[in-house]
Amino acid sequence: NLFHHDFGVCDAYAGGLLAASHVQCAASLILGERDQMTPPKQARAIAEALEATVHAVPAGHTLMAEAPEAVLAALRSALA
């Protein structure tokens, strides 16, 4: 099952925080307030490592389908 494989690969990836700490450009994260796959609390460490601006939108994991206007506003803010 492709999804099972992908989830396993994602769960096994251990180098994300270290890699994020080496990013040298501006970063923005757009997070769903009700996301159960990637809860905002779980994203806190990566946001800190990236020194990212965080935009929370009223949605779950499928941000663009659930809250397209909020995602667009977050993108506009990030690119301003």
Which tens digit of pLDDT belongs to each residue from 30-69?
Answer: 999 999 988 999 899 999 999 999 999 999 999 999 999 9
Question: H helices within 31-67, ranges in order?
Answer: 40-50, 63-66
In 8-76, which ranges are E strands?
A: 28-32, 53-57
Q: Of residues 75 and 8, which shows the higher confidence score?
A: 75
Phi, psi of 56 (to 5 degrees): -105, 130
pTM of the model: 0.80
Mean of the per-residue pLDDT values of the chain: 92
Q: Domains of the chain by range and CATH?
A: 2-79 (3.40.50)
The per-residue pLDDT for 50 is 96
What distance in Å separates the CA atoms of residue 52 and residue 29, rounded to the nearest whole number?
A: 7
The per-residue pLDDT for 44 is 92
